[in-house]
Structure 1
Amino acid sequence: MTSATSLFSPVEADLRLLSENLIQLVGTRHPILSAAAEYLFGAGGKRVRPAIVLLMSRATMLDEDITPRHRRLAEITEMIHTASLVHDDVVDEAQMRRGVPTVHSLFDNRVAILAGDFLFGQAAWYLANLDNLEVVKLLSKVIMDLPTGEIQQGVTRFDTSITLEAYLEKSYYKTASLIANSSKAAGLLSDVSRETSEHLYNYGRHWGLAFQIVDDILDFTGSADTLGKPASSDLKSGNLTAPALFALEEKPYLEVLIERKFAQEGDLEQAIALIQDSQGIKRSRELAAHHAQLAVEHLADLPPSESRQALMNMTDYVLSRLY
């Protein structure tokens, strides 16, 4: 499997600077929040989202270096992503994230909620200071989309009538919106054409959807060690993702198990077996590959460069996580 970090060579130095800046941006005025933020930013993670922003920035600024505003956009993107993870972990009552304890399990729920709010607030402040209204609008929309996706997921738990379209919409809000809008924002800071900025948006949108679909497949095929959380946790909590939705079309008894919320002993194990015995995982892989291919097609407008090639390779990386 290709590692994400090996694809980031055009922006390797940029990412090192980003890691240093993130902790500095949080500041030390609030010791507990600063400790939580420092823990978060030091807890690993592949920095995929800011890497895509930086690669987009370099791919659209071939004749000159990227600006401090491009760098700040990448930092804002990682802040928003990290803030959303802190809140998600509280909602999901998750004890582990990326193989390390979550903020609320280390501190408590109150600190975790405040830490997430603090990071969202910091991101909004630095966003406003970019002095670009269109970019502010794009990233503000992301901050609205993230809880929208969480709410949609929450109100459709154990709902076997959810459609694939509704699943993809929720996946856009939860995952793809940030990548799509920050990719477009990077292009706007580079003064690309309106048409090119829409292509950058759609690269991020389809890349994000492919990434989420792959994540949802791994919930059935990965181990707790590789996932950094318990396997099949989505299904157990009633979050029906692509493999389950496809499996429901050919395994009628799966609906019975889900609708009674796996109340009887062995229900969850039986449901997992039904999904693995169906075409659900295969069809989900095909859906992820479809979105990955669409993402690549939206890079055709950009001139050839090392950064554009890295963005194309990022779509292969998404799919390679399955193998």
Structure 2
Amino acid sequence: MTSATSIFSPVDADLGILASNLKQLIGARHPILSAAAEHLFGAGGKRLRPAIVLLVSRGTMLNQEITPRHRRLAEITEMIHTASLVHDDVVDESEIRRNVATVNTLFGNRVAVLAGDFLFAQSSWYLANLDNLEVVKLLSEVIRDFAEGEIRQGLNRFDTELTIEQYLEKSYYKTASLMANSAKAAGVLSGVSEELAEQIYQFGRHFGLAFQIVDDILDYTASSEVLGKPAGSDLVSGNLTAPVLYALEEKPYIKTIIEREFSEEGDLEEAMSLVAESEGIARSQKLATYHSQQATEYLKHLKPSDCSQALLDLSEYVLTRLY
């Protein structure tokens, strides 16, 4: 099966430069923050978001070299993403991510919050230095969306009345906004037309939603080892995602278990079992497939190249994580 890493081959060299630059951008003025950043940026991960930025950059700069501003945008994108993960882990009290200890586990909540704030501040400073107001607006919107998504998720914990539409809206804020707006920003830096910039944005939006839905399905179907965090962690924390929202329509007893916040022994296992018996996972897969297909449709507006093909492959690959 194709891997995400092989799909990124047209920008392999660019991702290598990005990895070394990220650590330099943090600087060594704050030893604990530097240690936290070293831990974060060395913890693996597919570098999916900067890879998309770089693929769009090269896919819209055919026969030309991408600019330093394109590279910096990819770095800013990864910094913003990483900052959001650090804050998420504090809010969710997560102990592991990608099978390694979280910053809050290693350094405590106080340092983790400061590290996240510092990364957001650094990314904003580098963003301003791109001297492109439209790009600044696009990425500033992402930072606002992260906060909106986290607030909505917090307010909707254990809310069995949550709709699929509200779930998708929250998924946009927490995941798809960064993919959509950073991809569009790469096109803006390349000087593409407004129409093409919007098509690129729509690709990122649908890809991001497909990616998040797949992630949410895996919380029910994958092992803790594969997930890099405990299986069922979304459900037990009251974060109700597509599989359980669909399952609630068929298995009303899940509502009782959720509303008592899994307070009785065996509640989580029973809820997971009921979701597995329902059509929740199959319907979620269908929803992810729809958004993946929409993403590929919007990519047809890019001129054919190795990079546009890689983006197409990526849109199809996102679904293979389910099997």
TM-score range, shorter chain: over 0.9
Other-structure match for 2:185: 185
1:7 maps to amino acid: I
The alignment yields a C-alpha RMSD, in angstroms, of 0.7
Other-structure match for 1:170: 170
SS of structure 1 residue aligned to 2:8: helix
CA drift at 1:2: 2.5
Other-structure match for 1:304: 304
Other-structure match for 1:238: 238
Other-structure match for 1:258: 258
Other-structure match for 1:68: 68
SS of structure 1 residue aligned to 2:238: coil
Other-structure match for 1:4: 4
SS of structure 2 residue aligned to 1:213: helix
Other-structure match for 2:249: 249
Structure 1, 23-32 or 122-131: larger mean CA deviation: 23-32
Alignment of 1:154-233 (within 5 A): 154-233=154-233
SS of structure 2 residue aligned to 1:290: helix
Give the whole-Å Cα distance in 1 for the aligned partners of 2:273 and 2:31.
48
Give the whole-Å Cα distance in 2 for the aligned partners of 1:235 and 1:192.
42
Give the whole-Å Cα distance in 1 for the aligned partners of 2:238 and 2:115.
27
Other-structure match for 1:293: 293
Give the whole-Å Cα distance in 1 for the aligned partners of 2:317 and 2:67.
27
CA drift at 1:202: 0.5
CA drift at 1:265: 1.4
1:13 maps to amino acid: A
Q: Deviations over 1:184-235 (max 9, x none)?
A: 0000000000000000000000000000000000000000000000000111
Other-structure match for 1:284: 284
Q: Deviations over 1:71-105 (max 9, x none)?
A: 00000000000000001001111110101000111
CA drift at 1:173: 0.3
Give the whole-Å Cα distance in 2 for the aligned partners of 1:250 and 1:132.
50
Give the whole-Å Cα distance in 1 for the aligned partners of 2:255 and 2:45.
36
Q: Deviations over 1:37-73 (max 9, x none)?
A: 1111111111000000000000000020100000000
Other-structure match for 2:100: 100
Alignment of 1:35-50 (within 5 A): 35-50=35-50
Q: Deviations over 1:119-168 (max 9, x none)?
A: 00000000000000000000000001001101101111111100000000
Give the whole-Å Cα distance in 2 for the aligned partners of 1:308 and 1:240.
34
Give the whole-Å Cα distance in 1 for the aligned partners of 2:267 and 2:116.
35
Give the whole-Å Cα distance in 2 for the aligned partners of 1:128 and 1:196.
24
2:287 maps to amino acid: L
2:150 maps to amino acid: E
List runs of 5+ in structure 1 lacking aligned partners.
none
Give the whole-Å Cα distance in 2 for the aligned partners of 1:121 and 1:26.
11
Give the whole-Å Cα distance in 2 for the aligned partners of 1:3 and 1:96.
23
1:215 maps to amino acid: D
SS of structure 2 residue aligned to 1:215: helix
Give the whole-Å Cα distance in 2 for the aligned partners of 1:170 and 1:158.
15
List runs of 5+ in structure 2 lacking aligned partners.
none
Give the whole-Å Cα distance in 1 for the aligned partners of 2:184 and 2:148.
21
Give the whole-Å Cα distance in 2 for the aligned partners of 1:14 and 1:237.
38
Q: Deviations over 1:282-308 (max 9, x none)?
A: 000000000000000001111100000
Other-structure match for 1:123: 123
Give the whole-Å Cα distance in 2 for the aligned partners of 1:301 and 1:315.
15
1:201 maps to amino acid: Y
1:292 maps to amino acid: S
Give the whole-Å Cα distance in 1 for the aligned partners of 2:78 and 2:185.
14
CA drift at 1:266: 1.4
SS of structure 1 residue aligned to 2:117: helix
Asked whether 1:21 is paired with 2:13, we answer no
1:82 maps to amino acid: T
Name the count of aligned residue pairs. Answer: 323
Structure 1, 35-44 or 162-171: larger mean CA deviation: 35-44
Other-structure match for 2:109: 109
SS of structure 2 residue aligned to 1:56: helix
Give the whole-Å Cα distance in 2 for the aligned partners of 1:263 and 1:40.
34
Length-normalised TM-score, structure 2: 0.99
CA drift at 1:269: 1.1
1:277 maps to amino acid: E
